[in-house]
Structures are given as C-alpha cells and as structure tokens.
Structure 1
Amino acid sequence: MIGTVLGNRYEIIEKIGGGGMALVYKAKCRLLNRYVAIKILRDEFNNDEEFIKKFKRESQAAASLSHPNIVNIYDVGVDKKDGQEIHYIVMEYIKGKTLKEIIREKGKFTVDETIDYSIQIAEALEHAHENHIVHRDIKPHNIMVTEDGRVKVTDFGIARAASASTVTNTSNVIGSVHYFSPEQARGGYTDEKSDIYSLGIVMYEMITGRVPFEGDSPITVALKHIQEEIIPPREIDNSIPLGLENIIMHCVKKSQSDRYATVSDLLSDLKKTKLSGGKLPMEDTNFIEAPTQIIPVVEDKEGKEMKKSKKKKNSDGSLKVVFFAILLAFVVVSSMALGFYKLKDYFITKEVVVPDLVGLHIDRAKEEAEKLGLNVEVANEVYSSEFNKDEVVNQMTEAGTKVKEGYTIKVAISKGRNLVKVPNLINRNINEIDSILKDSSLSEGLVEYEYSDNVAENIIINQDPAPYTEVEEGTKINLIVSQGPEKKIVVMPKLVGQSENEAKNALIAYGLALDQIVREPNNEYEEGIVFWQSIEPGNEIETNTAITLYVSSGPSARGEEPEPEEKDKEIPFVMTLTPSVEDDEVEIKIVRVQDGNRKDVYNKIHKVDGSSIEIPLEGKVDAVFEIYYDGIYIDEIVHPHN
C-alpha cells in the first residue's frame, strides 16, 4: 500500500498500526498539504455488504462529532485498485501513543493521572452520547494520548458497525473482551451504560496496572465478566483512595441499571474526587443509596401478652370475619382482573421495531414511520455525495431497535452535494490545471484537442461547465485544448542551386518556415545561390517546419571549399521551451557539454504563464545541452544540426 494514492488525494506513506478490523497508515493529503491517518478495512470485510452499509452509516454519524477529546473524522470513501475495492476512513493524525502503550511503559498511573485521563475520556463519551452515538469498544488501544497529554478517543462508528459482523481475529477478540460489559459478553442489548462499564475497566487498569479478569481464551474472560465479582482496587493497592475505588466499582456493576445513569453523573463524581485529592466521602457521590434491607419485627413482652388475650376473645367470631373477608377479596380481585383485561390496551403502550429509513426521501420516511405509530424529526442537514437532496443520510435510533409507539426518530437528511464554483481554465496550459481542479474539489473530464491558428499548443480553448457556474463537488470538467496551427505533411523540395529569393518563395509555397541563412564561401556555386539545406529533398515533413539554408558568398580566397557543417564550428540555433511548474516564476539554466567540458551558457528567471520561451544558443554539432528548472535536471537535447 505504501505509495498508493486513495481518492486522487491521500498518498500513503507508512503503516502505523492495525487491528482485527483494519490497518492504519500515515498519509499525506495532497489537497490541504497535511498529514492524516487512514484506516483501511481488512479484505475479509469487503465482501460483507451488510457490514459495509452499516460501516458507512455509522462513520458518517461519527463524522458529525466535534470535540477536543475525539479524533476528527475528515472523510469516508472507497477506491478501486487492481480490481479490488478499498474502504477507508480518513482521520486526524495524532502524534503520540495509545493509552495501552503508556500503561505498559509505566506499569500503573498515579491517582491524579488516572483521574485526569478518566475525565477526558468521559467528556468525549458525554459528547457522543448526547449525539446518540454509543462507542461499544472503549479500551486503551482505542484511546490516543498526544505528546502534551491530551486524550483523543478514536474508532467511533467503526466499533458500532462491527457489532453487525463476527470478528474472527482471535488476538483482537482477546484485546477487546477484557473490557466487554456483561451484556456485550452475553450478546445482549448495549447502550450508553455499556461504555460506562468499559471505562470503569480502563480506570481499573490505569490505577492498578492490570485488568480485573484474565483467562486462557476469550470465552473464559467473557464468562468472568458475567459471573464473577471484580476484586476491589484497594485490595490490590490500599493506597488507592476510597472515593476513586467507589467510582470504579459503581461503573462495573453487572446490571446496567445499577451503574451510573449517565456519563455526566460519572463526570461529576470524578471532578469532585479530583478537587478533594481523591478523598471524596462516600455520602457525596451520586451513587450512594440506602441498601434494601429486611428489618425484623421488634416487639416487647407487654405487646405479646395483649395479642394473646385478644386472640382468645376473638377466636369465636374470627372465622366468620375471615370467610366474608376472603369472599369480598375474591369479588374485588375478579372485578379488577376483568377491568384490567378490558382496559389494558389503554394503559400498556405497544412496542414496535424501528424501520431502516436511510436512503428514503424524508416524506417517504415519515410515511413509513407513521404506519408503525412512530414520528420522524429532522435533526440536521448535511452535504452528501452518496445521497440525493432530502434523502435520509443517518438515523439516530438504529434500525431494529424496539421502542414504544409514539417514539420520535431523529434523522439527518442530505442537502445534496456541496456546490462549488467552477474556476476559469480558458487560456491556461493543460499541464497546470490538476492542482487548480483539486483545490476546487473538481476533476478533469473529457479532454479533446483541436487545431487553432490563434491559440498556442496545449492552451485551453474552451471548457464545460462554463467558468464561474456552480456545480456539485466532484463534477468532471470537460476541456478543449489547442494543438496549434494545423500541420500537413509535405515533401521537402530541392532548394540547392536556387537563388536565395527563389528558395525563400519555395519555403512559403510549401508551408515551411525559414530558420536561418548562413553565408559561407563556396567554389562550386555562385554568390547568392543555395548550396546546402538542413533537410534533404524528398523527405516527408510537417508544414511550419523550420529550414536552415547555406548560401554561397562567392569563391573562397584559397580556392578551398569549406564543408557546410564543420565539426569545430559553433553553429547558432534557437531552443524553444514551455516551462510547466507550480510556481509563478522559474529559473531556467542551460549547461552546454562540449569537447568534454561543461559550461553554463544560459541562466535567467522567467514568468510561468503557459507561453513559450525562445532561447538563442550556439555550439558545435556534437554538443549536448542540459536543461534545469530551479536547479532540478529536466531534460537534455543535442544540437539540432547533429
């Protein structure tokens, strides 16, 4: 995966972690030029359509969370590489360690450290629960700690999605089962109090340095969560404050109803304990209640004697009274039972199963809910690339949950795709538009090339959609690009033996261009007559090709005829460059390699605007010219007369 680019945006740099469900990589976001963490689902989940559907839904819900103690989710996507779908989540990159790594390093935490970390984790859960999101997999492995000590809870959404599938990776199950609530171990209904239990186990491990239950297999550990009582932390270390122990033991009650009612109540006790240095009196905690007790009847002797005398006096008439009392009770109870049978429909509210509303238009969702006696309320609206406008993106109450008739399901609906303004690409070079489109969250569409006598080669002539129109994110922009003037194939005419003017007229007639005229002595041809041309007659060439002509200046003084191209003669020519770089300016340097020597023959700064730059050079025919942009080697060319 290293070097792979997902979504045309995220370049994977290195692997930084992994678990039973996913692998985690560090990546570079090319659009925003920042590092991110990408969690890529393992291959075995790619074929589980139900899991993928649930994963997308829960991840989108988790992306709505915004809290300093929760890792931000930036993006959720799918890409195809080599025919294989890759499902991924893009998250905030945290430079730090997991809480599990820190526990292993330190052994156990101080009271202050335990309370500080617990408060931060609880505040993250409080925010999630207020938004109807239950984590379901709170454990030290899913809690990051930054270098400055800030807690960041991760894996919201992915944990909930996992509940729909069986995780078969043994090591991962062992890693999670130490923190499972009893209801999770039984496969029962989980809610916010399941997160409270798991946080209690994490607190227990931080203050004691170990988890409460160990076993040879996940089943063994799970059974202990269900059946065995946790050893109080003070029996392991009697220096642990009683107030902190009370908080932990209340979090890890077997029954959900016996735990803290909400994370907010837990937070209140943690903060009180922090202020009191861990010595919070038991009567000050939220969970202290008078235990249910059986109180024996206490009677004195006088009372007993009075009862005995009354019993003797009333023994004769008591049978009649008892008989009538029983008869009356039977009549009353029978009447009540009959009345209850008749009225139970009015006093007992019927339970219904919450339907799956995701993907439905809001009007249709309300109709489906009303059929079951439920209500639908729009909690918020979000942009979505997956759902059309007014379709349900997410529902706060999970489908399949049993609720009472009249219950209101809160949903988020789509505002459609986010609209962005199309940039003006006309008159720009085709090689520089990638970054412009990415910055606008758009992509390149169909590119067509046309000849143009007025627009230089590679310059954009037109675009669709038009500049400054508003379109959805991800829209493809179709482009028409200039190929320059239309070029035709012609046969190179013979110009040797013609006068200079005749040769020039012939070049014009054939649609060719004159590069340069070199005048040299020649004993065979009279002055003003062409005695050499740069392209041999009969060759097929494109129109507008530049031709160099050698014209005789008359016989040489010594009567010797020089060769048209002497190897030791430096011949001038023009190099044409069209620099394509991201900066507005570029330093162009050209180094000539000739006769075993290197020499800088050109070094200037030019503006980058898509236009061509003509650079006059000269050198021997066997010279090589190296081209550098901003000190970086780009290419090399040989002398065009070689």
Structure 2
Amino acid sequence: MEAQAEVPRPPTLLRVDVTLQDPLIGRVLDGRYRVEQRIAVGGMATVYRGVDTRLDRVVALKVMHPGFAADPEFVERFIREAKAVAKLSHPNVVGVFDQGEDHTAAPPVVFLAMEYVPGWTLRDLLRDRGALSPRTALDILEPVLAALGAAHRAGLVHRDVKPENVLLTEDGRVKVADFGLVRAVNGQTAATTQQVMGTVSYLAPEQIERGAADPRTDVYACGVLLYEMLTGAKPHTGESPMHVIYQHLSTDVPPPSERVPGLAEQLDAITLASTSRDASRRPADAVELLAALQHIRRGLTPAQLDAEPGTPGPQGSPTTVLPPVERTSIMDPALLRELPADFVMPRHEEPERPPVVRRRRGGRPRWVLPTGVVLVLAVLLAGLTWALNGGLYTSVPGVLGEPQQTAMQTLQHAGFTVQVTQDFSATVPKGSVIGTDPGPGAHVRKDATVTVDVSKGAQRPTVPTLAGKSVDDAIKALQQAGLAVGSRQQQGDATIPAGSVVGTDPAAGTQVAANTPVNLIISSGPQPVDLPDVTGESIDQATSDLQQAGFQVRIAPDQVFSDQDAGTVASMSPPAGQSQQGVTVTLTISKGQQQATVPDVTGLSEKDAQRKLKQAGFKVRSLGFSLFGTPTVHSQNPGGNGQAALGSTVTIWVY
C-alpha cells in the first residue's frame, strides 16, 4: 500500500555538517561511489551523502566503523541488512541499492549504498514540536506500520523501531530506515549473543528477558512510538538504562490521556493493546495493528483528530482503563465484536436527567434568562463552526508526490479550482506534485484556487558552445550554466588561436546532470612544419618554393649588400627551420657585394701596408721574403686605386 503523510516541517530544525578532517570525504569507494558529506553518526556506522558516479544519482552511503569492519559478525550483519531490505519493494522502506567493500586505501571500508532521503527524522520533529495532534501521529504511524507489515509478511523483523529510524521526507512521505538489526523469523528467534539489540526505550519485555524477537516486538515498539507522539514523552524513563528496563518488565505503559487529558479513549485502547507486556495480547503483526488503527481512525471525529496537544477533547471525560481482553488476534472479526465498545468507537453513556427546576410564585423561572443567553451564544457558535469546518471552509487535501492528473482530480473533487505551475526537482519524479499553495491541511474556502507545482524532473543543463572563447570566458559560461570545470587538454588547431577553447567533452549541446564536470580542449595553435631555406635563390624561385610549402611571401622594400649575388635572396624572416604553417615569410633581396677603392700601398713597409688595407675594409695576404733590411711592398693585387668588393682579400708582395 502507498501511504502519504501530512507531516509538518520543523521550523527550527538545525543540521550541522561535521566533515572537517574526515578521511573519507572525497574518496571514491569501490571505484563508483564518491563520498561528499557526513550526515549522521551511529554506534556501528556513519552515514554519508554520496554520488553514484556510474548512474549519476545521489545516494546515502552507510559505512561501518573501522573497529567493526574487522569483526566477521558485524560484517555479516551488514550483508544481512542489504539482503533483507533487497527483498522488500515498498514505498515506505528506505531501499538498499548495493553492498561492497573498498580496499584501495587504508583503512578498508565496508559499506552499503542506499536510497538518499532528504528531510528529517521523527526524533527531530518530536524534539522541535513535542506532542503531536492525533491526526499527525496517525499520518506518521500508518506508513511506518505499512512498511513493517511488508517486512513481517516477508518473514522479517526490524527489531530497532524508534524515532531515529523514521525518516520524514521533504515532500511529505514517511520512510523506515536502518534494517541493520533485522532477523528472519524462524524457530530460533533469540539473539545469538548475550547483548540485547535495539534501543532500550523501545524494547519489548520478551526482548529484554530472552532476547526473543518476532513481529510482536516491533508492534510493542510502535505502541511506544504512538505514546511518545501523542504525549511528547517516553512512557518509561529513568536515571539509567537499567531503571528503564525494570519498568518495561514490571510496569504497564500508561494511557496517553493521563499525560494529555482529553485524548480520545480509542487512542488509549490501541496504545495499551499494542504495548501489552504479554506478547499474546498484542496484535499479531504490523498488518493487524495497521488495520485496527485505521478502523479506530474512521470512528474519530475531526475535532478528536485535530485536538491540539494539551487541550481537552470534545468529550472532556476521564479516560477509562480497559479491562484485560482474552484474544489471539486483534483483527479477528468475532473478537472485535467482543472488545469493549470504547476500543473501536466512543463510549456512549446514558445522559443524566436534568434536575427539576421549581418556578417562583408569581413570575418566570430563574433559569429562563441565562438559559436563553446560552442558547443564543450556542446557535452563533454552531453557525460559526459550521462555516469554518463544514459549510464554507475545508482543508486542502494532501497530494504531494501524486501524479498531476490524480492530484487535480482530488482537488477538483473537493471543490477547488486548480492552477498548475512547473518547476525542476531533483527528488520528485517528473509529472508528480512538488507542493501546493495553499499547502496540505490549510483551512480555506471551498471555492478557493489551489496552485499545484508539478515537477519537470531534475534540471539537466545544456553544455554551452565555447569554441573560440578564452579560457576565462569559458569557465564563466560553464558556471552560469550550472556545470563544473573539469580537466584542460591541449590540441593543435590551425583555425583557433593558441590559448583559446577548441571544444568541450561532453560536446556542446549535450544535456547532462547539474554540476557535471566539463573538460576544456584548448588550442595550442597550428602544428609546426619545416620552413625551407631559400637564401641565395632568385626572387621567383624562392617565392614558388615557399608558397608550395604553405607559407605566405613578402618582399622587403629595401635591398642590402651581401655575399649573395645581386637580385637573389640575402636573408629570410623567420629563418629556415621549424615554423607555424601559414605564417608570412619576409625575403630581403641582395644588392651584391659592396665595392670600395683599394689603397695603393706599394713602397710601404709590410706593417704599414697591412694597417692601411685593413682600415679600408679589406683583408690582407702577404707573400715574399727579405734577408736584409726592412721589407717593403713592391706590388699588390688588386692594384692600387682600383675597385674591389668590400671585405675581399688584397695580396701584397714584399721583399
């Protein structure tokens, strides 16, 4: 069965993120589950919010404490939880997706991957609100019993039902979590160790005495849960766990109305029946308790269901404690007929006859005037009550999580005009209701307009087109699209300038989950190619060679003297070697060698001749010899006062 609870959100609920210095934060378990945030710490395990990187979904990761991971018994319990819950397919049970171990780093990790349920626990709600109205308490307990009933009919017992294991989602659903103590029901139901498992405030007497566990132990815990929701307090308290255990064994759970006067007697009856110290007097399992609870609910008036905690109910009479009833199943129709009337419906007693009022002689009775005033006020009050509760006003039905068409039919059947809006939601399936305005339970006119906010599914941003953008602009565009920046890769590209974005991975236009990392492919510019050496070639030849190699050619406007022949390439820029394809090569043309006048050095000493020629820009070569006296130049080539290339060699003969 599908159970939808109308549960108020605690206005002052505070969650604290304590992930500093946690070695698991950021670690990827079993190559698949990335640990992101710690959300709860228990006695055996710590629960983290994580991401299944393979399926791209948020999960809850329940990681066994390292001290227990080395204990085969605790590891077996972890695996047993995964297998047990995997057998259940129920909307009010927190699902288990996977179980695994990770030994890639120390310490090794044993974990469960479970359904992530955003919201809060029943303990958070009780801590913030205290006692709840009967309607709210039943809205929460019924889906809990539905979940446990599915487990009981599958042959499983939870054994640790408590407010901490009842999760209230943001869209009004109720989920039962932590089947870590679950055990199959068979001939041997006692615990195999001397320790009593479970939380002491919710343990049935047979669990304490013998460690025995069957569906009726879960029924007992649900009865304690109902008492706590109706009264805001536990039925048995003490200074130590042993004191609480003693009360479980020796003292019956009191009727809730002793603490909250005015509660309906039927709620006392169902609480006492489910928390009987004699297990045989309780409902046989959660299915029977749920059926009895729904039967009782149908017999309660709206005033009884919506009575504020701590205020007298409409009957205002003290609670009647029920006598013991011999029964084997609370849902046996014959036994239901034998139950006290106040177990399934309000007790009706014969009204007392009004006292005889004597008239005063010679006048009207004393009670006429005050009675008339009371009657007028009663009529006005009745009219106002009719207008507010049944005539002109009604409550908005709870349709959170329902398909759009079903929700609209429910609201229109209740007399409302329906408007539809749409929004993205990471938790509510596409086409289902995220919320309503006014909200569920709001007291409004019957002809009011209710706006239904329908989920468009999880928002999936599109990877923007980033080709040609700078890296900084690309990062800004990704962040504005709700995506993360991944790695950066270099790639040569002749059309995109170096340092600009060539493309992305995933490609532009791809729809992905929010915050998905997008890798940037950045241009390193065109690939380098060989630039041929055209120095000494004619202009036409050099231009042809460069263009065939894929380069542009430019001729420098000024020519220069060089060793190259006049009209040929004297130099090129960039020089020959490796260069980017397509660049422009500038060619400088030679005017040939520069000419200068050769000095006449004949008759000079060898030393003076060499100095004079070098000063004129020539190189000198001396030939000849002299045995006596100072050698002098007798001839030279080229001859004096003639023209020769500047920097060329002049040969002199001396003797």
Under TM normalisation by the shorter chain, which class is it?
0.3 to 0.5
More strand by percentage: 1
* TM-score when normalising by structure 1: 0.47
* TM-score when normalising by structure 2: 0.46
Q: Which has the larger radius of gyration?
A: 2
